[in-house]
A and B are shown apart, each in its own frame.
Chain A
Amino acid sequence: AQKITQTQPGMFVQEKEAVTLDCTYDTSDPSYGLFWYKQPSSGEMIFLIYQGSYDQQNATEGRYSLNFQKARKSANLVISASQLGDSAMYFCAMREAPNSGGYQKVTFGTGTKLQVIP
């Protein structure tokens, strides 16, 4: 079963506007972490923001904020004041509690390609 779902394969946003990238997840663990990464065309994965399952407030990092709705199991990324340099692939990821082997796997969604229009 898909654990991380990103339903938007591609998105366009006007420069200086805000955009929301959707992410829903599926887990039965009470303790988990949610991450967003940015992958430019060059390929590197850049960490953007983190939300813990027990965090009471939505995470924010500069222009990035995470709209965490635990009951709906969604963790949407909001980018405010979009810039041309924001054009990239964006991946939502989830870290679950350690498995029997003691490893905390991180599972990635299929990504959303964001293009910022001048």
Chain B
Amino acid sequence: GAVVSQHPSRVICKSGTSVKIECRSLDFQATTMFWYRQFPKKSLMLMATSNEGSKATYEQGVEKDKFLINHASLTLSTLTVTSAHPEDSSFYICSARVPPAGTANNSPLHFGNGTRLTVT
């Protein structure tokens, strides 16, 4: 079953408004979550690493004031696209890594189902 829940799956908003996307880890605590953006027929680009209780770490070229990330609890991270514009239309997908047992380093990223944002 799904271990990461993302909501909403699809949102249409008007230019200039803000949109909040939620990412929840189910049945495990995620001190770190990752937000990716995917353009049509393109790969996933890491936008930022969300850290519980501290500031997010943004990748180069990602505007932190535009893409606000809040990791308020061990099971919830939110991405808010502020003052959205049509160029922000994209597929946003979050992920978390289920804590590995022992020293195992093979735990994969588990992804939410993504949010398709359309800004009109």
Segment from A14-22, A67-75, A108-116 that makes contact with B: A108-116
A43 and B105 contacting across the interface, CB-CB below 8 Å: no
Report A-chain residues with C-beta under 8 Å of the C-beta of B106. 33, 50, 52
B49 and A50 contacting across the interface, CB-CB below 8 Å: no
A111 to B44 alpha-carbon distance, docked (Å): 9
- Interface size class, chain B: 20 to 34
B93 and A109 contacting across the interface, CB-CB below 8 Å: no
How many Cβ-Cβ contacts under 8 Å join chain A to chain B?
51
Residue of A nearest to B107 (CB): A50
- A91-B44, A106-B46 given; A45·B34 CB < 8 A: no
B95 and A108 contacting across the interface, CB-CB below 8 Å: no
B49 and A109 contacting across the interface, CB-CB below 8 Å: no
Q: Is B82 an interface residue (CB 8 A)?
A: no
A93 to B106 alpha-carbon distance, docked (Å): 12
Q: Tell me which residues from 18 to 61 in chain B have a Cβ below 8 Å from any Cβ of chain A.
A: 32, 34, 42-44, 46, 49, 57
A43 and B110 contacting across the interface, CB-CB below 8 Å: no
Q: Is A25 an interface residue (CB 8 A)?
A: no
A42 to B114 alpha-carbon distance, docked (Å): 9
A5 to B97 alpha-carbon distance, docked (Å): 23
Give chain A nearest CB distance to B82 CB in angstroms: 24
Report B-chain residues with C-beta under 8 Å of the C-beta of A31. 105
Residue of B nearest to A34 (CB): B106
Residue of A nearest to B36 (CB): A108
Q: Is B109 an interface residue (CB 8 A)?
A: yes
Q: Tell me which residues from 25 to 46 in chain A have a Cβ below 8 Å from any Cβ of chain B.
A: 31, 33, 35, 37, 42-45
Instruction: List residues of chain B with CB under 8 Å of any chain A CB.
Output: 32, 34, 42-44, 46, 49, 57, 91, 93, 95, 105-106, 108-114, 116
Instruction: List residues of chain A with CB under 8 Å of any chain B CB.
Output: 31, 33, 35, 37, 42-45, 47, 50, 52, 91, 93, 95, 101, 103, 105-111
9 nearest A-B pairs in the assembled complex, by CB-CB distance: A45-B111, A47-B108, A43-B114, A44-B113, A108-B44, A110-B43, A50-B106, A108-B43, A103-B49
